[in-house]
Amino acid sequence: MKILFVTDLYPIKRGDNNSPTTLHNFAFEWIKQGHSVDIIKPNFLFNSFLRKKPFYPTGFYEYEGVNVLNVNYFTPFLFDVTKKLTRGAIDDSDLNQANSESLRGTSLRVTRQSNKNIWIASLFGLNLTPRNDRINIESYDIIIGHMPSGIIFAKKLAKKFNKPLICGVHCSDIKVLKNPIYKFYFRTQLEDAYKNSKKIACRSFVLQKKFSEILPELADKTFVAASGVAGCIEVLRDRGIAASEMSLTVLACANLIKRKNIDKLILAMKDLEGFELKIIGDGPELKNLKKLASPAIRPSREKMAESQMRGATFLGKLPHEKVLEEMKKADIFVLPSINETFGMVYLEAMACGCVTICTKNDGIEGIIKDGENGFLCDPTPESISKILLKIKNSSNIKEIITNSLATIKTYTPSNCAGNYLKNIE
């Protein structure tokens, strides 16, 4: 199958924290499975500015062997979006030739031109490259759009070239559908896309439920397009969770912003004995969280490192491999966040053998089943505290971990990518 994937939630360079790799993982797996995949990243500049995303000139890029066309627009795709789908320019240093050689199967050719005039023009949303060097939209079998901008852009392409359309629903889409501020353009555009789509890929069971409640007439088109995680621990460790005299390590990992509710976790653990809290991450709430976690009277530096707080150790932002190392050492993983599209970090924690706690009616509820392969909590200190004590005093934690690892084995990147395509064939 020849797939055109349209989304603004796609990385261009390594280390771009504004664009997670979850959608890239689908494209990467589809190519490995023998399909041809190209990416268009439509960039509505005003929206990017509000979201503090890095600016990239209009042009072709390559990320782990997948060709990506970044196209900048000043208007939210009001006009003919195809006029700017011409070849852009990038610097040779942006190419990953090794991955390019190993992952063939895409149809967008990467140019190695470097021209200051083209770069300056792209800054203003223009493209000075030849008009006869366009992307051949006719050659694709299907067009997939994710995120509101991607869906609107993909809808226009699908309609103009009479191609089947798949829409991917994230938390951002639910926000647009429910917030009155988007009523007159974005919501209208999204609803039109959903109605004219072949299928609607909801990124979690929770989002499928929310979407179906808003547009029940389209519920039959929906399916869950969950992400997958690679690897799991085959041998369970004797954690001694049932032994009340042992200290249990609780881990949280997140961008430290308000909706992650790390403050609720800190408050939940302040009066609990036998637990140690470690927090991975950085963000605007770090200072407030450290203050919340600090004791009323601070011990001397000889007794307590500067990063060590009462019941909480702040580890800062860590490389991914270090995050996994901490997960493998932890007993329990907790992230009581809200408005999560999916939450890969939960799957990673499960794959590392942690007893994992997720927020009710959010994130990966539906994959995590309360009391079976993990636990669900309300995002309140009282609920979190209650579940932590339940885990500490439980006699069947090894069974929970065994069920958790069995679940993870079915949520591999290959399985999830294959399930996505199976639902749209």
**In angstroms, rounded to a whole number, what is the distance separating the alpha carbons of residues 297 and 287?**
18
Report pTM: 0.82
Domain spans in the chain, listed from the N-terminal domain onward: 2-229+415-424, 248-411
| Among candidate residues 192, 80, 198, the one with its CA nearest the CA of residue 141 | 198
Average pLDDT of the segment spanning 180-201? 92
- H-helix or E-strand spanning residue 142: strand 142-146
What pLDDT does residue 103 have?
A: 41
Average pLDDT of the segment spanning 307-331? 83
| CATH of the domain spanning 2-229+415-424 | 3.40.50.2000
Among 45-49, 217-221, 230-234, 247-251, the range scoring the smallest mean pLDDT is: 230-234
- Is the pLDDT at 327 greater than 60? The verdict is yes
What pLDDT does residue 24 have?
A: 94
Residue type, 175: K
| Among candidate residues 276, 284, 215, the one with its CA nearest the CA of residue 255 | 284
Q: Looking at the domain covering 248-411, what would its CATH class be?
A: alpha beta
Q: What Å distances lie between residue 368 and 187, 377, 379, 381, CA to CA? A: 31, 11, 16, 20
Higher pLDDT, 103 or 256: 256
What pLDDT does residue 297 have?
A: 41
- H-helix or E-strand spanning residue 325: helix 320-329
User: Which residues touch 325 (CB under 8 Å, ≥6 apart)?
Assistant: none
